[in-house]
Amino acid sequence: MNQDANAIITLCSHICVGEGVCPLEPREYGELARKLIAVGKTPKDLFFFSEDDFAGVLGFAPEQTERVKRLLDRSASLNFELGQYQNMGIEAVTRADASYPVKLRKKLGGSCPPIFYCAGDLSLLNRESIGYVGSRNISVEDVEFTKRAVQKTVSLGYGVVSGGAKGIDTVSGIEALGNGSFSLEFLSDSLLKKLKQSSVIRNIQNGALLLLSIAKPDAGFQTGMAMMRNRYIYAQSSGTVVVRSELNKGGTWAGASENLKKGWCQTMCWSHPYPGNLALIQKGAAPIGDDWDGHVPEAAKSPAPPQMYEQVSMFD
């Protein structure tokens, strides 16, 4: 067991949150990590910190010390629950683990979540994939376009990365798997619920499907999560295809707009006359039509990925 990972989980996990326990948010954890680096320590050292150490070494105020101590006190109980999940095939991967999604770490830097819960082969994250996003309510036309697009990108060796939801997500994932490729899904709800489907289990066992979520494994759908995972899809992919977007509203619109601003990857948009799609193309998304060959077009004027973040430590 990697005890730095264990410490990160203990500090940040929303699993096993008892009374008075308040896990660190990504930003808070980021601050703590920087303080630890500055004094040459790693997260596991916190297990042995005395009250004085928190104040003396990290400059914690008493209430901060109290909060972190309460979090560390739950480590045994927390590990019971994680152990149960592990036995169900769900792992927790932290920023202290080598298998943490490296592309997210590079592109999202400090705003990367400290923990992902996942089921499947994490090495799929190292392969190239194309993101597919779109609304849940789709037409036959949308489905046909998505299938053709996926067939083309798959034939070029790409996998699919999606949000694992109904609609475009499911269509693109199934198409990739059906064509012998792989599918990455950043879920916004319960991993455990998804793992009740025998086809899901089969695809994971065959090494073709990887599920990831920042929500604890038994959580329900949360809108906030749904927004967050858009970032992960863009950051993980070599380019993301917007099949269908509403105009000025909805998760697809918000996610694509954010990516156009941040430039985590090339935004491609189906040149269908949906108002949302047209507007995204207007804002700089690369239009792709029915004749698209599957290659990610060179970014014309999209800003270069910001190098604001420099990797300083395995656990940061």
Partner 1 sequence: MKMERRGVVDLENGKKEIFANASEIIQELYGKTASFRPGQYEAIEATMTRRRTLVVQRTGWGKSLVYFVCTKLMRQQQKGVTMVVSPLLVLMKNQIEAAEKLGLCCDVLNSTTKDRREEILTALEQDSLDLVFVTPETLFNQDVQNHMKNIRIGLFVIDEAHCISDWGHDFRLEYGRLKMIVQRLPPSVPILATTATANDRVVADLQTQLGNEVFVSRGPLTRDSLFIQVLNMPDRIRRYGWILENVPKLQGSGIIYCLTQRDCDYLADFLKQNGIEAAAYYARDGMAGERVNREIEESFQQNKLKAIVATIKLGMGYDKGDIAFVIHYQMPMNIVSYYQQIGRAGRNIDKAYVFLFHGKEDEEILNYFIHTAFPTQGEMGTIVDYIGAHDGVKEAQIAASMNIRNARIKKALSFLINDGFVRKDGAYYYLTPKKYVYDRNHYDAVTAIRQQEMEQMKLLTETRECYSRYIVSCLDDKEAKNCGRCANCLGRNLLPGEVSTEFVRQAEEYINRQTIPIEPRKRWAASGVTKASKIEFVNQPGFSISKYGDPGCGELVKQGKYSKQKRFCDELVGKSAQILKPFVRQNGISHICCVPSLRSDLVKDFSVRLANALNLGFADLLLKTEARQQKEMENGAHQCANAYQSFSVKDGSKIPRNILLVDDVVDSKWTLTVCGYKLMEAGAEKIYPFALADSSNREN
Whether 29 and 7 have beta carbons less than 8 Å apart is answered as no
- C-alpha 278 chain-centroid distance: 27
Is residue 201 close enough to count as binding partner 1 by CB under 8 A?
yes
Give the shortest CB-61-to-partner 1 separation in angstroms. 20
**Longest Cα–Cα distance in the chain:** 66
Token pair for residue 277? 């799609």
Q: Where do we find the tokens 């994490």? A: 122
Taking CB under 8 A as the rule, which mask of x and - marks residues 205-244 in contact with partner 1?
A: x---------------------------------------
Using alpha carbons, list the distances in angstroms from residue 59 to 4, 43, 63, 65.
21, 16, 12, 9
The answer to whether 260 touches 302, Cβ cutoff 8 Å, is: yes
Q: Which two tokens stand for residue 220?
A: 């329900």
- Cα–Cα distance measured from residue 250 to residue 256, given in angstroms and rounded to the nearest whole number: 10
Q: How far is the CB of 53 from partner 1 (least distance, A)?
A: 13
- Which CB, 47 or 221, lies closer to partner 1? 47
Q: CB of 158 within 8 A of CB of 182?
A: no
Binding to partner 1 by CB under 8 A, coded x per residue (else -) over 82-111, reads xxx-xxxxx---------------------
Span 13-32, contacts to partner 1 by CB under 8 A = 16-19, 21
Q: Rule CB under 8 A: choose which of 119, 154, 219, 256 binds partner 1.
A: 119
243: which DSSP letter? E
Q: Does 52 bind partner 1 (CB under 8 A)?
A: no
In the complex, least distance from residue 6 CB atom to partner 1, rounded to whole angstroms: 5
Q: Which of 52, 63, 80, 273 binds partner 1 (CB under 8 A)?
A: 80
Binding site for partner 1 (CB under 8 A): 1, 3, 6-7, 10, 16-19, 21, 44, 47-48, 72-84, 86-90, 119-120, 192, 195-198, 201-202, 204-205
